Amino acid sequence: MTATATLPVAHVADHDILPSRPNRGIRYVRETALLIGRGLRMIPRVPERLSDVTIQPIMFTLLFLYVFGSAIHIPGVRYQDYLLPGLIGQSMAFGVIGAGVATATDFSSGVIDRFRSLPVTRMSVISAQVVGQVIEQILGILIVAGVGLALGWRPHMGVGGTVELMLLVLLGLFAFTWLGVLAGMLIRNSDAMQGIGFAVVLPLSFLAGTFVPISGMHAIPRAIGEWDPLSALVAGVRQVAQGIHSHGSWQLDHPVVAMIGWCLLITAVCVPLALRRFRTATSN
């Protein structure tokens, strides 16, 4: 070890003594919690972010239930019961955009650099980003579910099904948030992230059988929809929440397994890439 040099310390603000540093594990938990708090405190102050998790899902629900829904008839099922699981699946995928925009904003503003120049564990910065985003998206999904229930959505699942659905939603949010964090670090510009995010996720979510069955689509969109990962989310939630089974491609026949598979795949690819990117982002 290098001998510590004794330097004159400036009496800048007649500071209180810093408590001695706890071990890494405790610091990691403490710093992650502080940084999550920072992210959550900002939600109500950024109108776009607030509306992303509140107004936008409510709007989608109302729009499809009362405007388009009146013209959509799906045999054997009330449209509320068809639509709500779809919206929940779609919300998970939209998490990519939320997480991406938040990450891009942080990386372009220099705030992340400031955190990195502090003696904080570096994992805490990225963990806080992911956990904070997941919490934000859960909020959005609870609002969608709440509005749906108020407007007549009746899920058909027991206690086991409810627990299964919650675990699936958490897994989906976790995977798609990591994807968003990685995209945000690569794109680094929040407007571009927003634009690219919508251009990719919105069409995929329409093709995923969120609002109308894939089986009734024209050949080309049907082919895309059958293999769209978002279809697995939508069909998976629908199967667990309503017991509605989808058919077509392998993933539509086994949506829950397919959804878990997609999520694990996305996580396995994105987590190491995002961590590496984070470590080297500014220390190229």
- Residue 284 interacts with another protein (CB under 8 A): yes or no: yes
- Residue 71 interacts with another protein (CB under 8 A): yes or no: no
- Residue 13 interacts with another protein (CB under 8 A): yes or no: yes
- Residue 6 interacts with another protein (CB under 8 A): yes or no: yes
Interacting span for another protein (CB under 8 A) from 27-35, 89-97, 191-199, 255-263: 27-35
Q: Indicate which single residue of 26, 34, 142, 265 sits in contact with another protein (rule: CB under 8 A).
A: 34
- Residue 222 interacts with another protein (CB under 8 A): yes or no: no
CB nearer to another protein: give 15 or 73. 15
**Distance set, CA 254 to CA 15, 170, 175, 242 (Å):** 61, 19, 19, 15
- Residue 256 interacts with another protein (CB under 8 A): yes or no: no
Shortest Å, Cβ 3 to another protein: 7
**Distance set, CA 12 to CA 8, 16, 17 (Å):** 12, 11, 13
- What is the Cα gyration radius of the chain? 22
Would residue 248 be called left, alpha or beta, if left means φ above 0 and alpha means ψ between -120 and 50 degrees? left
Contact 174, 267 (CB under 8 A): yes
Any residues with CB less than 8 A from the CB of 172 and at least 6 apart, and which?
89, 92, 93, 95, 233, 259, 263
CB nearer to another protein: give 72 or 273. 273
Shortest Å, Cβ 27 to another protein: 8
- Residue 45 interacts with another protein (CB under 8 A): yes or no: yes
- Residue 67 interacts with another protein (CB under 8 A): yes or no: no
Q: Indicate which single residue of 19, 25, 158, 160 sits in contact with another protein (rule: CB under 8 A).
A: 19
For 261, other C-beta atoms within 10 Å of its C-beta total 14
- Residue 21 interacts with another protein (CB under 8 A): yes or no: yes
Q: What's the token pair of residue 275? A: 């961590």
- Residue 26 interacts with another protein (CB under 8 A): yes or no: no
Residues 107-166, interacting with another protein (CB under 8 A): 109-111, 113-120
Contact 171, 236 (CB under 8 A): no
Rounded to whole angstroms, how far apart are CA atoms 229 and 209?
11
CB nearer to another protein: give 58 or 120. 120
Closest to 194 in 3D by CA, of 102, 93, 90, 61: 102
CB nearer to another protein: give 28 or 227. 28
Shortest Å, Cβ 106 to another protein: 9
Shortest Å, Cβ 273 to another protein: 15
How many residues bind another protein (CB under 8 A)? The answer is 42
Shortest Å, Cβ 112 to another protein: 8
Which amino acid appears at position 201 of this protein?
V
Decide: residue 186, CB within 10 A, 0-12 exposed, 13-18 middle, 19+ buried: middle
Distance from first CA to last CA of the chain, Å, rounded?
27
CB nearer to another protein: give 15 or 218. 15
Rounded to whole angstroms, how far apart are CA atoms 259 and 251?
8
- Interface contacts to another protein, rule CB under 8 A: 2-16, 18-19, 21, 31, 34-35, 38, 41-42, 45-46, 109-111, 113-120, 186, 188, 282-284
